[in-house]
Structure 1
Amino acid sequence: MRSSRRTTLRTAAVVTGAAAVLALPVGSAFAESPAVREPGVLPGIEQPSVDPSVKPSAWPTTSPAKQKQGVRAYVTTVQLADGSVAKVYKIDDNHFEADIFTGRTKPDTLVSKGWAASYGQSDGLHVVLRPNGTVTSWVEGGQKPKPEVKPEVKRESSVRIGMPDGRIAKLVDGPNGKRVEISTPYGSTLGTIDLQRPSAQNDGWTYKLVQDGRRVKFVVIDGKGGGNSWVYDFNGRLIETYTVGGAK
């Protein structure tokens, strides 16, 4: 009986939490694994001796069922840090492969299977195929890619103050800038001002936003009382007052 022979070409995926370093020689495929000879039948014992008294049906008549293989489905092509590319394929859930190409040459294939990442390097190029099918790469001496950090979104803050006219002002500082919402003591909205529409009037009173360098001030002017005014910062503090006779 002839013995069979096969050569292992695929690089191994690392176990979870570690990386298997793959040698990527330039212009040639990865080093092949040593040839492995499958067990053969030794001479003289190809056929087991059979007791004539044993019925033939006592011996197996069918071979074990072959394991079903996944379909290699193309996912995407990723350009690597040195200009080469990786073509990513999905085999099954939690099983991805990436063919590395330098021009028309395919040095090797990275395999990520069973939640294990696969890592390879060649001539200073480092490539990682992750269990979700994503590929990252960097060149030796260059900056290793950092995890994506989403910019912090500025949250809206506000403070409420009681104004000299008895009304309520809500000073709001948020992602879209500063604004003031003016309402009656009972909660009915009278209007809103911001730096695009910085002034409003109601019943002889004027409400204004003033840009003072980097600081924005909220000014309340009593038109009925001759022009007395009060100035607030966006922390709700009264920082200045003016009377008809002069500033205080």
Structure 2
Amino acid sequence: MRSTRRTTFRTAAVVAGAATVLALPVGSAFADSGAPPVRPSAKPSAETAHRPAPVDRAFVTTVKLADGSVAKVYRIGRSHFEADVFSGSTKLDTLVSRGGAASYGRSNGLHVVLQPNGTVTSWLDGAPQRTPKPAPKPAPKPEVESSVRVAMPDGRIAKLVDGPRGEYAVVSLPNGHVLGTVDLKRPSVHSGDGWTYRLVRDGKRVKFVVIDGKGGGNSWVYDFDGRLVERYTVDATQPRKDRVRVVPAQG
């Protein structure tokens, strides 16, 4: 007795997460069924006469599958794709995706999915799942700190620093003895002889202001490049609204 072994490639359509088994198309078996060939009749039968005309299949691409077999993808119409799965020259099955539903096939540990947009994915049982490589982290910017020394009108020295921690100013005596530090969290410091040193934000810029409180409030304004950008003088003999006068900065 001759026995014939048949192994089929099972397919399913997936809609909204649910799988539905589809009937195999004619000729989708792995092995020959052993049935005798059918000789064409001289005249077409009534059944043949009423069959619909064959549908045009526009070739899209060939996709290599996880086990080395291939899937040839065809566009049939709008939202309608088919993929013929081949192992060598043997056609295993045809996956059909139509109406927004994916088509799923499985054989001997190979899984194949034809998506509604015509793309094909595949994997093997027991194969490690591919995990996306993490995006490389941008290299940290080098912590560059710039500083400039300013000789203030009271004879003291201000070191204006712009660095990773933001802008700040270190006030010291000419001999290097530090009197205090001001930044945007602690924006003001007072000396014992009436002078005030302050940081103020002017839009996107930060400025360093030196105020002569003992001399009536005259002030000098520096940017963090060390340039004198503004100067104000106070004349106590004038009415209050006219006391402050802007003097052009001399650099």
**Quick check: which has more Rg, 1 or 2?**
2
Structure with the bigger RCO (C-alpha within 8 Å, sep 6+) is 1
Q: Shorter-chain TM-score: what band?
A: 0.3 to 0.5
TM-score by length of 1: 0.45
